[in-house]
Structure 1
Amino acid sequence: MNDSREPASVELSDDGLARRAKALACTAPLQALDENKGSLRWVKADVYQLAEIALHTIDQVTVSMDFDSGANQQRVLDQVTRFVALQAPERTAEEHRKVARHVLQRLINVGTVDRSFTEKIGSIDRSGVYRRYDFQFNLLVERAGPDGKIYLRASDEAINVLVGALDTDVESAQIAAEVKLESLIRRGRIAEAKLAAEQARYRTVQYGEMLRQLLDATSRDIRAVDWEHEVPKLLADALIHIEERYDFEHRILSNISDLRDRSDEPLRKRQAAELVTIVRDCIRRHMQLQQRLLTAGTLFREEQDRQQFAELPVRAVLDLHGQLLTPALGLPLGDALAVGEEFFRGASGVGPPAVLELSGLVSRLLRLAPERDRLGEEIPEPDLTDTTEKPVFSLEDWAATDALLDLRDTPRQLSDLLTEAERTAPSAAALLLHRAVNAFNPQVGESIARGDPRVLVGVATGDRFDLPHFGGDGLLLHSAPIVSPPDASDAPGSEPSLPEDLSDE
């Protein structure tokens, strides 16, 4: 017998492996949230399951998406914050909001240039060679709505993260989900039917998102979409699909309503009511999608007329960071220099020559050289400025504060002294405060070395004062004499000290 088996290299190629690798790559940003939560300095995130919060965020955005506009970011944050609060009810509401915003920003990938995730995956081609390449994808994107506001939209990869598949035919997956839903309802398994209904709704959103992107691409450039063969067939299949789904979902809705009305258990009635809401939302989305499909031909003709008579597009501006700097940094030095020289040669433009004609060149060559001054040009006189620093406080300020701080008889409050200084010598008030603060911890040793007879001492009173220009803790100030021990002449090495009453304080 002849061995008709294909070579081993062909058997190794597996499209399913590449699809599963992509599905695994789409979950990497969610797993990284929990892996890196220990590095968050603004919150102790060990009690939060950030991957679950991310799934809930994608769920809320997907359900809130509409054909024309996406999900309102503030509303999504409010809904996700309530879910975060269930994980850590003892934490504050402000922290719950910050955690929800952190997860949302990580799903949008805020902080990157193109806001897309990149994962290294590999696959085996038909020749049996294993190749690695970058798989770029988005989970949540920000898009402008018809009203000019910014909305959130979930990408196909984000929806596939929810339903656990990737690159699945949308129509086939939705038909399978609805058949499964009808079977579960017929057997009375409401909890599983709710999960199947949610998956069917995700597929409905994904189908609408695919058609919305097609119409958006048409609005930008009709040449980017095949309106001769591909799009008409897609629109016809979509209309047939919507008609079948409309009848199918109405039958499901009737069965659920009967099950809800016949059930006596409160839990089953509540589950059936939630299931009714989900199926009605699917019907609403299908009706909205049908309206857009019916107007797709009109949109194509309008865009064809508009773009046919539009002006030629302006050349796109060069992205210096993404298209020049980042690739150049990854090159060897010799190659990077060649790229830089070529860019600056083209960016600087052509410089006009100094001489435009031959006659001008001859006249310049025959021109006599100008006379030069042997002594050179005159040296200008330098403009010198006085850099001597002036004292901050004048002698009058020091004399005024000396008079106020001569507290030989009775101590006084700092607030009273500042009030009197502002009345008699306003410029000395700041100096008075400065000397009072130094008196709180006086350098007695330095005063003794200078031979001062008295030293200013400040004691905290525990009160506070508030003046028009000053404020703070209250101080009781007193000018204490420096006395020597009785046997100062007989005790070598003895030093003067403060009186006992003040030293105790």
Structure 2
Amino acid sequence: MDLDNDPPVPANLPDDGLVRRAKALACTAPLQSLDAHKASLEGIDARGYQMSQLALHAIDQVTIAMDFDHGADPERVIRQLTRYAGLQQPQHTEEEHRRIAEWVLNKLINVGTVDRGFRQTCGRIDQNGEYRTFPFSFKLIEEGAAGGKLHLRTTDEAINVLVGALDTDVESSQVAAEHKLRNLVERGRLDDAKVAAEQARHRTVQYGELLRRQLDATRRNVRTVDWETEVPDLLDAALSHIEGRYAMESQILAHITKRRDEADNPRYKQQAADLVVIVRECLGRHMRLQKHVQSAGAVFRREQDRQEFSGPPQRAALDLFGQLLVPTLGLKVNEALPVLAGYFRNATPPVPPDAVSLTTVVSRLLRSGPAEPPAGAPVPEPQLHFGVDTNAYTPEQHLLADQVLALGDGPRLLSSLMAEARELADPALARLVLHRAGQAFGTSIGESVRAGAGRVLLAFRTGHELHDPDHGGDDLLLTHALVDRTTAPGGPDEPTRPESEENP
């Protein structure tokens, strides 16, 4: 083969088809890499799992579940993937199936990267006839939030992977899918018709996503969306699309329903019933799409009024998880500390000083100090309660005690006096005598003389033990001492002397 004689490659080679196919192949690369990296799963023998099929199933479930206003529930998608993984490897445990499902879903979201996107290198021939490569960035499943809950949405690239095309016009592909579905139903090929119906449903979702993204961009910044030409043309095309597809799908639904009712083969009847469900879901999606198309103009006017008076646009908030935490966790400690220190240094707002002028400083210096706190808590007024005077001994008992303590002819012991008191048949009298004897033991003679007493009862310790059945201690010797008032100190003509100089 002589390469020198071959004609040169023209500079204007129409390679758009090649680029589209290269992009389509690039979008399938994340799915194909799942089977190549499934051995990296620790603790699970993943060799029997078909990861690419699990990924396609995940994209299918998310696409079917998402609507114009909300996406798919991640937990529900994981449960469906878990069941599908259990069918592939029934000998494994439920926990292993769930770990496989979570791993596949995270790989489709591309968890662990900053922007959750995939990048592949593609090439094309430019206007100068030179082949140049360019990066092709795309996503398969995106995370979002609505009503405080996390949800998932598939992108156009994921839907194109699902139906086997890329960068095709949504409207033309939808029309082709509808005609293909109608032709297959009329020919009775319900297996192929089900596949075509599912593809038509996916295209319907993709068409609604185009309008949703335009409205979301309008809510963020109305100036970034062309509401003069692009969006009005899109809304007109959407209304025409809904009108045409609704008429086509209504005819298909009537035809399938008739085939289902007339069929005798149970398998054929079940296939027709499945088609009825799918086509009815497409009709419902078209009605919801029509509702949002009709309200798009009101959304534009409302957002235009709101943003016109909301001031200049603000800076986008930092994604702490995706832009700071995840990249920092992949660094070493000595490399991560400067990054975190720089973030907190820039994220902390400056604190203005308390005194910003000389007059403020002077006024604060001349300000009187705070009042001194009280020395203590206020003392509450006591609540005094006067008790009842409870005299333990009656006057009669005091008279009997005086008789006992008269001592008769001379000094007597306390033990004999208490025995005499018990003979008077009063059990409290002996205790009263003991009490009076105790007072006599500690009596001050001077106080008795000043009080005008003519005789003083005195008690002295004997050094012997008191013999009594109820009381113990030292026995006392009791006696009386007479007071001579003529020589007593403290008279009117003589000053009072100290108690130590007083003589009875």
TM-score by length of 2: 0.62
Partner of 2:432: none
Shift of 1:311: 2.2
Q: Distance in 1 between matches of 2:124 and 2:43?
A: 41
2:86 equivalent to 1:79: no
Question: Match of 1:304?
Answer: 304
How far the C-alpha of 1:296 sits from its partner, in A, is 0.3
Equivalent-residue separation in structure 1 for 2:129 and 2:215 (angstroms): 39
Give 1:134 shift: 1.1
How far apart, CA to CA, are the structure 1 residues paired with 2:315 and 2:62? 35
* Residues 285-316 of structure 1, C-alpha deviations (whole Å, 9 max, x = no match): 00000000000000000000000000222345
- Measure the CA separation in 2 of the matches of 1:244 and 1:151: 31
The corresponding residue for 2:426 is: none
From the CA coordinates, give the structure whose radius of gyration is larger: 2
Q: Note the C-alpha offset of 1:115.
A: 0.4
Is 1:61 matched up with 2:62?
yes
Paired residue for 1:88?
A: 89
Identify the residue that residue 384 of structure 2 maps to in structure 1. Answer: none
Cα offset for 1:39? 2.0
Aligned to 2:151: 151
> 2:294 and 2:315 mapped to 1: Cα distance?
35
Question: Runs of at least 4 residues of structure 1 off by over 6 A?
Answer: 317-323, 346-349
Preserved CA contact (<8 Å) 1:13 1:123: no
Residue in structure 2 matched with residue 111 of structure 1 by the alignment: 112
Measured at CA, do residues 322 and 304 of structure 1 come closer, stay the same or move farther in structure 2, by a change above 3 Å? same
Q: CA deviation at 1:152?
A: 0.4
Going from structure 1 to structure 2, the CA distance change for 1:318 and 1:50 (only over 3 Å counts) comes to: closer
User: Which letter maps to 2:145?
Assistant: A
- In the superposition, relative to structure 1, how do residues 89 and 215 fare at CA in structure 2: closer, same or farther (>3 Å)? same
The CA deviation string for residues 72-125 of structure 1, in whole angstroms up to 9 with x for no partner, is 111111111111110001111111111011100100001111000111111111
User: Taking structure 1 as reference, are residues 80 and 149 closer, same or farther at Cα in structure 2, changes over 3 Å only?
Assistant: same
Give 1:318 deviation, angstroms. 7.7
| Contact 1:9–1:127 (Cα < 8 Å) also in 2 | no
Structure 2: runs of 5+ lacking an equivalent? 1-6, 328-338, 350-504
Corresponding position of 1:99? 100
Which residue matches 2:411? none
Cα distance in 2 for residues equivalent to 1:12 and 1:173: 26
Shift of 1:168: 0.5
Contact persistence 1:141–1:152 (CA under 8 A): yes
What is the CA distance between 1:38 and its match in structure 2? 1.5
Which residue matches 1:168? 168
Q: Distance in 2 between matches of 1:62 and 1:319?
A: 26
Alignment of 1:223-238 (within 5 A): 223-238=223-238
Partner of 1:178: 178
Asked if structure 2 preserves the Cα contact closer than 8 Å seen for 1:50 and 1:103, the reply is yes
CA distance in 2, matches of 1:55, 1:122: 26
Q: Cα distance, 1:51 vs. partner?
A: 0.5
Report 1:80-479 matches (<5 A): 80-145=81-146, 147-316=147-316
* Structure 1 CA distance for aligned equivalents of residues 287 and 104 of structure 2: 33
Shift in CA distance, 128/231, structure 1 to aligned 2, threshold 3 Å: same
Counterparts of 1:216 and 1:130, CA distance in 2 = 37
- In 1, the alpha carbon distance for the partners of 2:323 and 2:278 equals 44
Secondary structure of the corresponding residue to residue 34 of structure 2? helix
TM-score of the superposed pair, with normalisation by structure 1: 0.62
Q: Tell me how large the CA RMSD over aligned residues is.
A: 2.5
- Whichever residue aligns with residue 87 of structure 1, its letter is Q
Q: 2-side partners of 1:101 and 1:49: how far apart?
A: 14
**Match of residue 26 from structure 1:** 27
Quick one: percent identity of the two aligned structures?
58
